[in-house]
Structure 1
């Protein structure tokens, strides 16, 4: 499971903005199997470092995180390598003191000018894979830190569900996922949804989904 593409960060990086796998299930055997995902609308400012697996996939691992309040009057975070290191920056609370994010639904991460570029530090938005355990925060949208860059993130409760072999934090190219289930809880009265994956590989919604006000569709990313 991955969040559907979050809005591009305001004042984003010169390089790529990456989408990361959020939640994964154990391997599901065929038959009457059941998987449940528990989601939270709590978000975090994160930074982390990557590792590359034998299959070529890059996984971003959370090094540190802070809970984010969404605007207006949202959180403002500053990262610095002063007092830390090029591979392990620190949250500069003094530099961020008194600053807020005015944009509705957003929070800000600013990297000071102490960063070198390029580097191997990813910054971005994270969420909990096992709420309320904050120690399970994984990246959901990231980019490589750039010196002096100040960007706003706008998380939202919309998700893509697909099949495959992934780890949380894995960077994915959404255009390679094929048909996906998109689930949108933004306007739901009851934030619960049940779907069945039939023998043809197509997701079908339980009748409660519409009653709960959950929006959904199944198809390619370009159609979703």
Structure 2
């Protein structure tokens, strides 16, 4: 059961603490009206493998550039489907809502790393939004402002009030297992006094395997044998990904 505790008010802005995930969430800003008019997408997983299976839905990592170079970007388990019986299905519905994301994690970061305390701020890549991150109390994002990022991107501006020892990650999040609660789809190590442009790539994969939501996965290994879903340029907004008896995946749009 998801439990939302009392609002945690800071000098910067209110945030919500999601008790079940140890997560701080920033309320949406100038995007709330727009999000209600977004197209809705559906991805369904059908298990025809003949075995009870766990599945994970993840995305192609976004393109990330920074003032200091090009950081390594990790894929996270965005949505997990657990214990689907033979012939069974599970479904996720989502919109194009995009969130800048931060989290704490145990270093070094690698496949298997899970997220600790975290927060998110709604951003609009069509407005090329920017948001500043503060690494000392109160930790989190400031007010989202339009402009400053590259085309099709959002920008995270890191203050110089933290070091590598804090173990911060930045990234991209979208609502996942819990509706309206952003879950990370990609993360990278945060560096102080730097600016990061994040350009989402809307390309989804379904693979079998047991993962914790938000856990970093090996994108190269997982995507090689996964089913691919890409709605770009399609009139359809729904897809079913079937795992076949031979273990392969077949997507179908409808």
Q: TM-score of the superposition, structure 1-length normalised?
A: 0.76
Match of 2:80 among 24, 27, 34: 24
What is the CA distance between 1:62 and its match in structure 2? 5.6
Give the Cα separation in 2 of the matches to 1:158 and 1:116: 33
**Contact 1:118–1:146 under 8 Å retained in 2:** no
Give the Cα separation in 2 of the matches to 1:83 and 1:76: 21
Aligned to 2:15: none
* Structure 1 residues 4-153: aligned runs within 5 Å: 4-9=60-65, 11=67, 15-30=71-86, 32-50=87-105, 57-61=112-116, 63-71=118-126, 73-84=127-138, 89-93=139-143, 100-130=147-177, 133-134=179-180, 136-153=181-198
Aligned to 2:212: 167
Give the Cα separation in 2 of the matches to 1:146 and 1:40: 30
What is the CA distance between 1:170 and its match in structure 2? 0.7
* Closer, same or farther: CA 62–126 of 1 in aligned 2, 3 Å: farther
Whichever structure has more strand as a proportion of its residues is: 2
What is the CA distance between 1:120 and its match in structure 2? 1.1
Aligned to 2:5: none
User: Secondary structure of the residue that 1:35 maps to in structure 2?
Assistant: strand
1:184 aligns with 2:240: no
**Contact 1:119–1:144 under 8 Å retained in 2:** no
Return 5+ residue gaps in structure 2 as ranges. Answer: 1-56
Aligned to 2:245: 199
User: Secondary structure of the residue that 1:47 maps to in structure 2?
Assistant: strand
**Deviations 1:41-60, CA, capped at 9 Å, x for gaps:** 101011112269xxx82112
CA RMSD of aligned residues (A): 2.4
